[in-house]
Amino acid sequence: MTHSLARIVAILALPLLAACAGAEKQKAPPEAVPGYEGVQDGEFFIEPVSAQYLQDGNIRTEVAYTGPEAPGTVVVDTFARKLYLVNEGGTATRYPIAVGREGLSFRGTGTVGRKAEWPSWQPTANMIRTRPDLYAAYAGGLPGGLMNPLGARALYLYRGSRDTMFRIHGTSDAASVGHATSAGCIRLFNQDAIDLYNKVPNGTLVKVRSEAESLALEGPQMLNAYGHMVPATPENEAKKAKDEAALAKQDAKDRAAAEKAEKKRLAACARRGIPDAECAPPEGVASVTVGTSDAG
């Protein structure tokens, strides 16, 4: 091969070499936590629950159970933010829950009067009256689906033939599970709502603990740095202080990065002769969050 021919071959090969050099390895998606994988449920695909929402005991698990309730009973502890399905042999399946205002209004017992897959939702007249900006658009009801605040499944608590308006249901807002919420009853991850739905028939007894019952059976609880309820122990107090310091440090770094990005954006506008007041930020995707109080 002559020198000039070799040079031509080398030049022609450059784009190919550049393409190979520039190609980055695709990172494999994080492995889903067992029991919280993505689920195709009828026409809807439920996203996997991120591992970051499954920390601090915020995950479905089998535990020893010392409460007085009989096997088959559903026990809701709104103070510890846990729900138990009592099993045979002194054990229970424990689920993490989010608790809204309406979830705090019920104590005592009821029964599962009906169940629904991908239930519809409608705000109450009081919700529409007090927050028309949030709820008026849904006055006619919202069909079941991924945007519905009742999630994939709902259990409706009755006393006799009367609907108590107390709901145990799923949610697509995975970040809310384990926390107190501004509205709604008892939310579970959609994967957990399906698991509970499949195990609990109509007529199942549901016990909602009082604060005294929660304290006697769960012991004192405290909020950790991430807003989850955990046992109030010296170890957890120390961990909370350490985690809060780490979060504050990360928050400071995030704020500094945001300020730097904002200065860079304004400088780019200035170079194009655009005043700060007219330098529009990048367009984002707006989203609407609907409360989960419901009338069925």
pLDDT digits (tens, 9 = 90+) for 88-127: 999 999 999 999 876 677 889 999 999 999 999 888 787 7
Residue 290 pLDDT > 60: no
Residue 284 pLDDT > 60: no
The pLDDT of residue 23: 40
The Cα 56–Cα 76 span in angstroms is 19
Q: Which helix (H) or strand (E) holds 236?
A: helix 234-271
Q: Does residue 2 belong to any structural domain of this protein?
A: no
Token output for 16? 């190919």
The Cα 53–Cα 112 span in angstroms is 28
Token output for 207? 């016990």
Q: Which helix (H) or strand (E) holds 215?
A: helix 211-218
Q: Is 7 in a helix, a strand, or coil? A: helix
The set of residues, in sequence order, having a beta carbon less than 8 Å from that of 87 and lying 6+ positions away, is: 62, 65, 71, 93
For 32-41, 237-246, 275-284, 285-294, which range has the lowest pLDDT when averaged over its residues? 285-294
Residue 137 pLDDT > 50: yes
Query: What share of the chain has pLDDT > 90, as a percent?
Result: 60
The pLDDT of residue 128: 86
The set of residues, in sequence order, having a beta carbon less than 8 Å from that of 283 and lying 6+ positions away, is: none
pLDDT digits over 19-75, tens only?
333 344 455 556 789 999 999 999 999 999 999 999 888 999 999 999 999 999 999
CATH value at residue 90: 2.40.440.10
Residue 180 pLDDT > 80: yes
Residue 8 pLDDT > 90: no
Which structural domain range is residue 85 located in? 39-218
Q: Does residue 200 sit in the same domain as residue 241? A: no
Q: Does residue 48 belong to any structural domain of this protein?
A: yes
Q: Does residue 201 belong to any structural domain of this protein?
A: yes
Q: Does residue 117 sit in the same domain as residue 262? A: no
Q: Which of 8-12, 130-134, 150-154, 182-186 has the highest mean pLDDT?
A: 150-154
**Rounded average pLDDT over 209-232:** 93
For 124-128, 167-171, 204-208, which range has the lowest pLDDT when averaged over its residues? 124-128
Q: Does residue 243 belong to any structural domain of this protein?
A: yes
**Rounded average pLDDT over 154-166:** 93
195: how many CB neighbours lie within 10 A of its CB?
Answer: 18
Residue 11 pLDDT > 80: no
Judge contact between 193 and 112, C-beta under 8 A: no
The pLDDT of residue 37: 96
Q: Does residue 133 sit in the same domain as residue 246? A: no
Q: Does residue 266 sit in the same domain as residue 174? A: no
